[in-house]
């Protein structure tokens, strides 16, 4: 089983970006941990990050038939992008949404997710560990349904 890890805008700056909100782990740190967890679970991970909405959508199109599910932190596009949700439904890729911060405890415009209605589930507010929990939960769910 291959799982895609998709990160959206500004997440390439993790480590230095508002560390009081997003922590000090870099995207490379997060990816390295996910590779370890994937090995433990007996799956593979593919990672992609883009600051461009259309490239995130293109990545999902390319991943169709390649990955069996996706862990996604779409950054601010989570709150705005119907196109990204459509890409998930159009490709039938099951996914778990992650946010490092507790978006429900922040500004009102962050409290709504365009992706959540189509997600298996969401993990918010647990920092970088949230990616690991999302990967574990996604793999467990896919295995249960296979």
State the residues that interact with ligand DQA by CB under 6 A: 10, 73, 75-76, 78, 99-101, 103, 110
> What token pair was written down for 41?
């679970």
Question: Given the complex with ligand DQA, which of 76 and 140 has the nearer CB atom?
Answer: 76
Catalytic one among 22, 77, 112, 145?
22
Strand partners for 46: 4
- Where helices occur in 1-146 by DSSP H, the ranges are 19-22, 27-41, 53-63, 77-80, 82-91, 129-144
Residues 6+ apart with CB under 8 A from 101: 21, 22, 124, 125
85 vs 99 by CB, closer to ligand DQA: 99
Q: Which of 20, 79, 99, 131 is catalytic?
A: 99
Q: Is-catalytic flag, 99?
A: yes
Which lies closer to ligand DQA via its Cβ, residue 44 or residue 54? 54
**112 catalytic residue (yes or no):** no
Residues labelled as active-site residues: 22, 99
């Amino acid at each position: 089983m291959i799982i895609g890890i998709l990160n959206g805008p500004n997440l390439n700056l993790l480590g230095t970006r508002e560390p009081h909100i997003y922590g000090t782990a870099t995207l490379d740190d997060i990816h390295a941990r996910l590779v370890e967890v994937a090995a433990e679970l007996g799956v593979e991970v593919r990672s992609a990050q883009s600051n461009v909405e259309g490239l995130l959508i293109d990545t999902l199109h390319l991943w169709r038939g390649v990955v069996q599910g996706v862990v996604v932190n779409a950054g601010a596009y989570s709150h705005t992008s119907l196109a990204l949700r459509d890409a998930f439904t159009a490709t039938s890729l099951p996914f778990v949404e992650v946010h490092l911060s507790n978006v429900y405890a922040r500004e009102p415009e962050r409290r709504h997710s365009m992706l959540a209605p189509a997600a298996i589930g969401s993990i918010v507010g647990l920092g970088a560990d949230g990616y690991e929990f999302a990967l574990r939960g996604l793999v467990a769910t896919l295995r249960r349904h296979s």
